[in-house]
Homo-oligomer: A and B are copies of this chain.
Amino acid sequence: MSGSDASPAASVLTRRRFFESLAAVGGMSLVLSGMEALGFSQASATELPPTLTGGAKNTKVIILGAGLAGMTAAYEMSKAGYQVQILEARDYAGGRCQTARKGFKHTDLLGNTQVCEFDDGHYINHGAWRIPYHHRSTLHYTKSFGVLLESFVNDNDASYVYFEKGKGPLNGKPVRKGEIAADVRGYTAELVAKAASAGALDAPLSGVDRERFVAYLVNEGRLSKSDLTYKGTEGRGFSVHPGAGVNPGPGKELEPFAFKDVLDSNAWRVLSSVTGYEQQRTMLQPIGGMDQIAKAFEKRVAPMIRYSTVVQKIKQSPTGVTVSFKGPDGKLGEVTADYCVCTIPLSVLKQIDLDASAPFKAAMEGVAYAPVNKIGLQMKSRFWEDRHHIYGGHIYTDLAGIGSISLPSYGWQAQKGVLLGYYAFGGEAARISAKSPADRAAFAVAGGQKVFPEYAENFENAFSFSWHLAEHNLGGWAEWGENGRKEAYPILCEPDGRLYLAGEHLSYLGGWQAGAIESAWQQIAKIHARVQQA
């Protein structure tokens, strides 16, 4: 891949066309360096699918799993002329891109069967549920396929924090996140502004304009300019909202909490002045449920999918891969292809008779899969909106097994709503998932009741999902430890013979749809390069 072909054209093209030309000629890594050369610091190698030009040479590919990785591979390879078949264990496609709505049925590995009873129009995305603005690969397909998006409220200062393992008077009380933020930041700014103003910080401030720094602090902390003191702020609300006429005018600003009390509450742990990479705004979601993405893919690759077909054995030869399976009728069968893209989670793949090298199989042991619980609770009124004036976002708690509660970002002001009653990982998730669905719901309702007094009286029905108890998943996502990422991961990113693994587990975007898609892109590009060379 040399850049020389593209250079002469660059000066007469718009930059967009320039990059498109680069991609056509030199592939994405050239585009990447081209963009960086032009100063696009956030350039990505992962914005577009690989261009698979040069022909498929009658190559057959068998893809295991019709989740986003598998369907991405099938969609792109079939467009490039490959003969593709997908084996999917379930009778529907999508993998972890699932949405539970009325009639959705799930039986977990403990034998609990649930049929979702949400009212029409309500749903819970119990798998993937958010699309960050920088997940360009996911957004590439929503745009290409016309999957309509709406915004997902991922941060809401009006929402509550409920911490009960701290101390002090704020402990065990729902407190609005914005109030905590205003106070701890205000007091800190006051402290710094006063110290800086008195010259106490001149040494660390060397090279920086002290007055400008104090002006910054006044602005950040909403301090009184005259005495650099934090006295609360209108940003944390009023005792009486400003209204019409003279009575009520705006009421007194709410009294700030004491600095010590805010620090003692531990609630500041949910704050960060800058949102982490994965959680940044703007987030998006498909209108009508995350599975709209799965369905958009499925519409395009359905003829290639054999549903209810469970892989039992993967055997390789120098010329191909043979996959044995149990089909929908219970009968055994097998298919042979030139290459295999296997998107089966490692947690499941480990248990399948797999013909791979010893180091490859050893590497598969190097990853754990996360127990992950979610539960949708249908509430007969949207009390969080009507009574508490919270429109979307999360309620962060330190309640074991609850984790966070999330309010829906769709159906604003509808009569009813389905909220996410817990989103919990790890040991606590495993403990709660051992309960019956009814007891899980009771646990979730009891937790939420600590935050919202209206919770229990509004509860109508629930749908819970535990990814570690889901057959064909056995966990929410791959959790690479530091060693696993260093040692096992690179081995599994490379093909073993004619077997190529793909999925979120083979990306640095673990648990995200973008990881699955970009992993598929990477692996099919490798197969294609091999086919071209053969």
Contact = CB atoms under 8 A, between A and B. Distances in A.
A441 interface: no
A363 interface: no
A219 B133 contact: no
Interface in A480-494: 489-490, 493
A200 B522 CA distance: 53
B248 A412 contact: no
A454 to B, nearest CB: 8
B281 A158 contact: yes
Given A233-B274, A237-B42, A241-B42, A213 B151 contact: no
A104 interface: no
A205 B178 contact: no
Nearest to A155: B281
A411 to B, nearest CB: 9
Contact of A208 (B209, B235, B260, B390): B260
A25 interface: no
A216 B188 CA distance: 10
Interface stretch (A80-88, A135-143, A289-297, A422-430): A135-143
A142 B413 CA distance: 8
Interface string A196-216: 000011001101110011001
A219 B272 contact: yes
A192 interface: yes
A235 B277 CA distance: 4
Interface string A272-285: 11111100111010
A254 B41 contact: yes
A14 B46 CA distance: 54
B244 A178 contact: no
A261 to B, nearest CB: 10
Contacts of A239: 36, 41-42
Contacts of A148: 412
A521 interface: yes
Contacts of A490: 246
A269 interface: yes
Contact of A276 (B42, B213, B234): B234
B413 A243 contact: no
A156 interface: yes
Interface residues of A, number: 116
A219 B268 contact: yes
Contact of A391 (B273, B282, B518): B282
A181 B273 contact: yes
Interface in A510-534: 515, 518-523
A326 B227 CA distance: 57
A493 B246 contact: yes
A472 interface: no
Interface in A425-463: 453-454, 457
A149 B385 CA distance: 13
A272 B157 CA distance: 13
A191 interface: yes
A212 B264 contact: yes
A490 B155 CA distance: 39
Contacts of A205: 191
A254 B44 CA distance: 13
A406 interface: no
Contacts of A44: 240-241, 243
A417 interface: no
A26 B472 CA distance: 60
Nearest to A212: B263
Interface stretch (A332-340, A341-349, A501-509): A501-509
Contact of A281 (B149, B157, B189, B387): B157
A518 B192 contact: no
Nearest to A521: B244
A389 interface: yes
A391 to B, nearest CB: 4
B493 A245 contact: yes
Contacts of A142: 413
A222 interface: yes
A216 B134 CA distance: 28
B518 A392 contact: no
A185 B244 contact: no
A150 interface: yes
A153 interface: yes
Contacts of A263: 208-209, 212-213, 216
Contacts of A522: 243-245
7 contacts: A42-B239, A134-B237, A188-B216, A234-B277, A244-B515, A245-B493, A282-B392
Q: Nearest 4 pairs between A and B by C-beta?
A: A242-B508, A244-B519, A244-B518, A282-B391
